[in-house]
Homo-oligomer: A and B are copies of this chain.
Amino acid sequence: MAKNNVIIKNGVRFEVAKYLKKVAPKCTKVVIITDNNVFMLYEADISASLKNAGINVCTFVMEAGEQHKNIQTYEAMINFVADAKLTREDVIIALGGGVVGDLAGFVAATYMRGIKVIQMPTTLLACIDSSIGGKTGFDLPQGKNLIGAFHQPSAILIDLETLKTLPKEEFQNGLGEGIKYAFLIGNEMIELLKEGLEDGNLLDFVTRCVDYKLDIVNKDEKESGLRKLLNLGHTLGHAIEKESNYTIPHGLAVTKGTLCVANASVNYGKLQKQAYLDAIEICKKYDLDYTISYDIKSLIKNIQMDKKMHADGDISFVDIEDLGKCVIRTVSIKELEEYLTK
């Protein structure tokens, strides 16, 4: 998607109608999909902006939480959208974190074989990661995100003010993916994180992450190659989430996974130890628990069900060669286990 359809700006939630008209001029009805936490905080601002512009608004409120990212919630949402009689010209707005964005995006992807969606991420994690790139879907009991589709948003509206009301754990969760970006992008990100994410730094940090991810997604939307880089820390991260029965949030699991890979890279004489120590320092500064309390062998078993597995049993795995230089490797489960446990 075009960069000028991503707006990162304080108070953009009061101008939703303006950006909606730009990307969906024929839209007359909007379904806002959100969760009960975000609904109380911001839904009124957005629906007011739309109603003032003469657009009909219906709002679906789901219960917050990853455990609701399932087929029951999807079914309730898409029935709501059908009852609201949305047409192909109309728009769904996903207002919330990753769970809301993934589900609402998939509803938009599959209602009438695809209608427009505008992502309005309200968590740091969703701002820098899940709202960008068009991955949508939900979980099955057999694994995370096993059902899904690629469906690019027509616009992404990021209101940094909404991050001010985030609970501490949610901000930490976003920082978890932030540490992944630091290893992907390089030293300037480490410096930003060490300095602290107040005001201007937060805008800078979010913008760098968004730009980096958009560049990659625009080159490889369907993750046939390059885009796999964004899975740094995710192979192990997903397994950690599952092993914890999803009590460890996604971003934090990715930090754990990323630092485990960084540690292995240092052990193999690739990554400079200082970068690893900087990352640890950042984790401590923001009170992120980067340790892994699970047996690596049981995590590896979990990885075998991971969707990145090839038919021949090998998996795609993102390795750190140096700060700002990551590579995609295809390895067997055994090789991965050896690499991570040296």
Interface residues of A (CB under 8 A from B): 26-29, 71, 75, 78-79, 82-83, 85, 87-90, 109-114, 135, 137, 140-143, 146-150, 222, 305, 307, 309-312
Q: Is the CB of B82 within 8 A of A143?
A: yes
The residue from B29, B85, B222, B312 contacting A305, defined by CB atoms under 8 A apart: B85
Q: Are A307 and B112 in contact (CB under 8 A)?
A: yes
Nearest residue, chain B, Cβ from A107? B147
Q: Out of B88, B111, B142, B148, name the residue touching A82 (CB < 8 Å).
A: B142
A247 CA to B146 CA in the complex, in Å?
35
Assess whether B147 is in contact with A111, with CB atoms less than 8 Å apart.
yes
A82 to B90, CA, bound (A): 33
Is B137 a contact of A113 with CB atoms below 8 Å?
Answer: yes
* Cα–Cα distance between A150 and B112 once the two chains are bound (Å): 10
Q: Tell me if A82 and B140 are in contact (CB < 8 A).
A: yes
Q: Are A140 and B311 in contact (CB under 8 A)?
A: no
Partner of A112, one of B27, B113, B148: B148
Residues of B within 8 A of A28 (CB): 311-312
Since A82-B140, A82-B142, A89-B312 are in contact, a sample of 20 more A-B pairs with Cβ atoms closer than 8 Å, ordered by chain A residue number, is A26-B310, A27-B311, A29-B311, A71-B75, A82-B143, A82-B146, A83-B142, A85-B305, A87-B307, A87-B310, A88-B307, A88-B310, A88-B311, A90-B311, A110-B110, A110-B149, A111-B147, A112-B146, A113-B149, A114-B222
Min distance, Cβ A93 to any Cβ of chain B, angstroms: 16
Residue from the set A82, A141, A222 with the largest chain B CB neighbour count within 10 Å: A82
List of B residues within 8 angstroms of A112 by Cβ = 146, 148, 307
B residues less than 8 Å from A222 (CB atoms): 113-114
21 pairs of residues in contact across A and B, judged by CB atoms under 8 Å: A26-B311, A28-B312, A71-B75, A78-B140, A78-B146, A79-B142, A82-B140, A85-B305, A87-B310, A88-B309, A88-B310, A89-B311, A90-B311, A110-B137, A110-B148, A112-B146, A112-B307, A113-B150, A114-B150, A114-B222, A149-B149
